[in-house]
Structures are given as C-alpha cells and as structure tokens.
Structure 1
C-alpha cells in the first residue's frame, strides 16, 4: 500500500482534463507512515545505500552529521523542500509518471532554494512511444492564501506552459550520466525536447501542489476553474493541521539515524 493510501483520506473530483484532489490525514495515519516518510525524506537528499555505507564506516552519529549537512536547517527551507518531496511521491504513486531526478541532492547550499521548476514528471504515452511530461509547482504554507496560488499558477504558465529549458536540461543530463539504459533513453528524449520543443501542450500536464495548515483555500478551486482544458491540470491540497510541528517532527526523525 502506498504512502498516501496509508496516510490520508482522499477526495477526488474530475471535470474533463481537470483534477481537484484533496487529502486529509487519517486517524492514526501519521503514525502509520512516519518511519517510511522519514526514510523517503532522507532519500531525496542522498542515496540510501550511501547513507548505509556511512553508517558502516563511521557509525550512526557521524553518518547523521554527514546527512544533516545536506538537509536545510531553517523552518522555511524545510517547509519548501517537504512540499517538493511530497509532490514527487504523489506524482509517482497516483499519476504513474516518474520524477526521475531527486533534485534536492544537487542544491548549492542546504538552506538555499533551487531555481527552476519544482518537479518534473516524465514518461511515455500508453503505447510507450511518445514523450509525456508534467510540470509541477509545490507550495507549503502554514496558511495558504490566494496570493500563493496566483504566484504558483504564474510560474506554471511561464515559457508557454512548457518545462523551463534549464530545468529540463538538468534532468536530461543527470539521466544521461546514469548506468541504466532506460534512464539514458529518457534523458536523450528530454534533451532532444530542449532543442526541438516538439511536444504539444496536450502532452505537458501541470500540477499545482499545496500542503497547508488551513486546508484547501477557495482560491485553489477557482484557479482550476480558470485554467485551460488543453492539458491535464491537477490541483492538489494536503491538509496537515499542525503544519509546522509536523515538518519539524519529520525532519527530526529523518536526521535521527539511530545509535550504536
């Protein structure tokens, strides 16, 4: 069972190519997924096998110190990163596209926000032939309001709704560095798209993903209603009432690798 199935109750609405999804924590759901989510958080900052090697070589305490150097130490930085992490997991669990590069592993500094698209989903159509992309913007706020939603939509619409070339090229190049031939093939397709810009709008979906303490603000549904229907449009809210305490607790557990 997936992370979201165990953690939240979901309400899903669909109108043609528009999807409005809201999630609320189940009773006991957080306890059910806390350990797995902590591990997922770690995996977005470093490979789990590399962390395990650090533990074997240096012990839990030193390995935890190494991991913490990659993890933001500010509440704002952690909030933003967790939004991207949760969005990535949702795309892979619920939509079936890959988010093939864990971009938080490549930050210039642990407390710095990365430029470019927050997350890019990639894959192929049902026949496995034509490239399909998802451009995503993630927001994590104690109190979500209209200004944040408007700002996120503006980012999704820039570059004519396409993934920004620098973001797409970053993902492509990481995939081309892989030893996996499937990664190489997808990376080649993405790199070609940077130059050719051949994908039609109906094969570049959008997702506006939000995590908030106040639940789905009315502006989310209004935003979705105002968007075009020439691509799949996903608007998502995860309601976590104790938003900031939740983030602090999850990062504390993620940084705690245990003891000797």
Structure 2
C-alpha cells in the first residue's frame, strides 16, 4: 500500500529539539486519491485480511460485505475519531517504521470507545533495544487549543510512558500472530522497568479541516518535558465530507469484491 505522502504535500519544521509536520492534499485530485487510499486502509483495521478472505470464500460477497459493514461505526463522531486513529496508525507504521497493531479489531461494540493509548508503536533497534511511540490521535473539523490540551493530558499519563494496559494489549496481539520475540521483549521491558523517557517518542496526530500548523507549533513550543515530541497535522478542508466519502467507499468496495 502507498504511503500517506503519495497524496499530500508536506511541510516540516523544527521547534527546538522537536518537530512539527503539516500534510495537506494540494488539489481535488489529491483529495480523491486520499479517499481511495483511506478506504483501502480502513477494512484491515476492523477485520484481518485472513478473516476477509475466509468470509469471501465461505459466505460470498454479499454476506462478507454485511459482516464488514456491521463492524464499522455509524455515528459521525465515532467515524471521525476512528478514521483519525487509522490515519495516525498508518502514518506511524509507514512513515516512521514502528510495528503497529490494528487495535479497532478488538472493540466491544462498533460505537464504543477503546481504552488505552490511541497509538502505541514499538521497534527493535540494534537487535536488543526497544523504542516506543506513544501517541494521541484527534480528529476535528476545526482543531482547537483545548483539543490539543486534552491530548496532552493523555500523553503525560503514566509519567509520559506507554500505559501498562496498552503494552500488555500490544504484546498479546503480537504473540497471537507469531511475533513471539517482540512479545517477550515488550513484557521484559515493562516488568523490569526498563522503559525510560529516552526510549519514547510522543506523537500528537491531528486530522482537521483547518490549518493545524500554528496550533501544533505553539503547543509543542510550550512543552517543557524531556520526551521527544512530534506533532503531525493532516489537513483536509472538506473534513466531514472526506470522512463520509471514505466510509461510503469502504462499503461500496466491499459489495463489489
């Protein structure tokens, strides 16, 4: 699958030791490409590729499409928040190279929020050392300072380190897919208190209709902690229409498989 940068124009700047990134589609053709890109990513965050293949094989297209549709959120607010999380997850995995889990597959109900860190990534460095990404994803038609403050509270929980619940969740999912070495290393790092602030990157990922650059710049500049910060803002002026089009295309594509 292509990376987000295939349909956006990117601006980067340093804010002290931290970084801020703004991404925006340059024209309508790029917005259309973004809808197609996001619609291709969304199903795999709710249903695994193996499960989709099994449903198609055993049930056929109409029934498989119905199962997928039943897992997608229906409220505008939940769709907005979960698409923001999906976009953030894709960014962390494809642009930053962290191992990510599509955690929305384990929701209790399609319109119920999940607990824990929105984004938790891990990668192995030098065959032994683990690096973690702790992130919050916020989706708003009009991004505001109060929304960033809300994300800040979550990022600073547990002294800014990944929450134990999120770590155990990710470790368990990795074990289930056979990544036992990474599973054991995460558990060891958590249980033996080996995760230090220097091992963590904070990500504040926003998806909004308005320009997030100044807000992210000011918010990052005000941060006085020691954990590295990355602020990333994806701006799609047609924010609400973009979300609606993405989920409509997901359902349409499922029925056309």
**Fold match, TM over 0.5?**
yes
Deviation sequence 1:99-137 (CA, Å, 0-9, x none)? 1x1100000100011011001010122x23211000000
Indicate conservation of the 8 Å contact 1:77/1:111, yes or no: yes
Q: CA deviation at 1:77?
A: 0.7
Tell me whether 1:253 sits opposite 2:219 in the alignment: no
Indicate conservation of the 8 Å contact 1:17/1:229, yes or no: no
Alignment of 1:67-216 (within 5 A): 67-99=68-100, 101-125=101-125, 127-179=126-178, 183-216=179-212
Measured in 2, the distance between the counterparts of 1:173 and 1:161 equals 22
- SS at 2:185's partner residue? helix
Instruction: Say if 1:48 and 1:26 are closer, same or farther in 2 by CA, change over 3 A.
Output: farther
- What TM-score do the two structures reach when normalised by structure 1? 0.92
Partner of 2:37: 36
Partner of 1:221: 217
Q: CA deviation at 1:36?
A: 3.4
**Number of residues paired by the alignment?**
255
Indicate conservation of the 8 Å contact 2:121/2:132, yes or no: yes
- What TM-score do the two structures reach when normalised by structure 2? 0.93
Measured in 1, the distance between the counterparts of 2:49 and 2:38 equals 13
Measured in 1, the distance between the counterparts of 2:227 and 2:156 equals 12
Measured in 2, the distance between the counterparts of 1:89 and 1:210 equals 13
Q: CA deviation at 1:83?
A: 0.7
Q: Which runs of 4+ in 1 moved over 6 A?
A: none
Unaligned runs of 5+ in 2: none
